[in-house]
Amino acid sequence: MVTATSSDIEQAAEVLRAGGLVALPTETVYGLGANAEDPAAVARIFQVKGRPPSHPLIVHIAAAEHLDDWVETVPETARLLAEHFWPGPLTLVLRRGHRVPLEATGGLETVAVRVPDHPVALALLSAFGGGVTAPSANRFGSVSPTTADHVRTELGDGVDLVLDGGSCEVGVESTIVDVTGEIPSILRPGGVTREDLEAVLGRSIAVPSTSHVRVPGQHPSHYAPRARVVLVEPEQVVAEAELAQGRGHTVGVFVPASFAGVPVKAHAVVAVPGSMDAYAYGLYGFLRELDQQGCDLIVVSLPGEEGLGLAIANRLRRAAGPRLSR
Ligand code: TXA
Ligand code: MG
């Protein structure tokens, strides 16, 4: 694994202090970081990503004990979840503390906070000493980066420094849980599973459907490669891919693990891993790879929506959603 050195981390902390942008590895995906308390630096994130300024960002902090510095109050449920899952792929939405500028929250009176579980991210947060707002380091609407190379290819000179921390272990973004109300709810499924949250909370937790857009930044189309993505039932994947290829499309196909080894006439074939951990880890890389191979159509089926399958299915649905103009 390629890992940034301590002098790279010092330099990155300097860049943040000077109002610059640093791409940093986390356990989920790479983030595009800025000093959370510097509205001009935060504004640059939106510019570089091409993201509408109304879409709120996540503030990354070094440890759970700093949470009180960034939010108005910490309800018991939030305390419990933070203790249990941080550092880790869980983001908590709470009432905004005064240190967080409205630029970072898209004007909302709530703020999303997490402690990432990656040695490079944690070292940077400690060296910097403050909070780092970081969305995924991709152009608005496209596939999130899971390697430093993805970031360089996609954002180029828009970033002042890219810290290389190897491939992101989880591969899909954090689970976002709104803990501002009486009953916690999942705003975005991600690296911490619904089942794990329910086990800690001792109650069931609601997951709003993909089509129910409540928060800016939760458009139906997101996480999308260039190629059009078509969702079909697992047993139709092979036939659908061959049909589209026969019609002149350059087809990439995700062959489900249960159909492994079945021959398929398509331009590019991804053998979907049987384990959901491995699927999540590979997902964004597979989508990028099919784009790179020139596919104009990707045929894929949804995994079962248990465990990490819930987050994977959410991203695939969004990748297949009506496209944003970008
Ligand atoms: O794993 C992750 O969460 C990665 C890494 C870099 O930490 N970050 C990430 O950021 O996925 P981004 O900006 O791509 O997605 C953050 C999402 C936004 O789409 C937004 O909907 C939600 O977090 N969000 C942020 N602040 C919020 C708030 N105050 N209320 C509700 N949702 C919020
Ligand atoms: Mg994103």
Q: Are 6-201 and 228-319 in the same CATH fold?
A: no
In terms of phi and psi (left: phi > 0; alpha: psi -120 to 50; beta: otherwise), the region of 297 is: beta
How does pLDDT run across 263-294, given as a tens digit for each residue? 999 999 999 999 999 999 999 999 999 999 99
User: What are the boundaries of each domain within the chain?
Assistant: 6-201, 228-319
Q: What CATH number should be reported for the domain whose range is 6-201? A: 3.90.870.10
Quickly state the pLDDT bin for 324 (edges 50, 70, 90).
low
At position 6, the amino acid (one-letter code) is S
Distance between CA atoms of 323 and 207, rounded to whole angstroms?
Answer: 23
Q: What are 213-259's pLDDT values in tens digits?
A: 455 555 656 788 999 999 999 999 999 999 999 999 999 999 999 99
| pLDDT at residue 202, rounded to an integer | 96
Q: What's domain 228-319's superfamily in CATH?
A: Threonylcarbamoyl-AMP synthase, C-terminal domain (3.40.50.11030)
For a pocket test of ligand 1, which of 27, 58, 103, 162 has the largest count of ligand atoms closer than 8 A to its C-beta? 58
Q: pLDDT value at position 223? A: 84
Strands (E), the chain: 22-24, 31-35, 58-60, 90-95, 110-114, 132-133, 161-162, 175-178, 185-188, 228-231, 251-255, 268-271, 297-300
pLDDT at 71 over 60: yes
pLDDT for 17-58, tens place per residue?
999 999 999 999 999 999 999 999 999 999 999 999 999 999
Q: Give residue ranges with CB within 6 A of ligand 1.
A: 26, 28-29, 31, 55-58, 89, 91, 93, 105, 108, 110-112, 116, 134-136, 173-174, 176, 187, 215, 217-218
What is the model's pLDDT at position 220? 58
pLDDT at 208: 74
pLDDT category of residue 212 using cuts at 50, 70 and 90: very low
Q: What percent of the chain has pLDDT over 90?
A: 91
The neighbouring-strand residues paired with 270 are 254
Q: Which residue CA neighbors atom 3 of ligand 1 most closely? A: 174
74-102 pLDDT per residue, tens: 999 999 999 999 999 999 999 999 999 99
For the chain, what is the mean pLDDT? 94
Average pLDDT over residues 294-314: 97
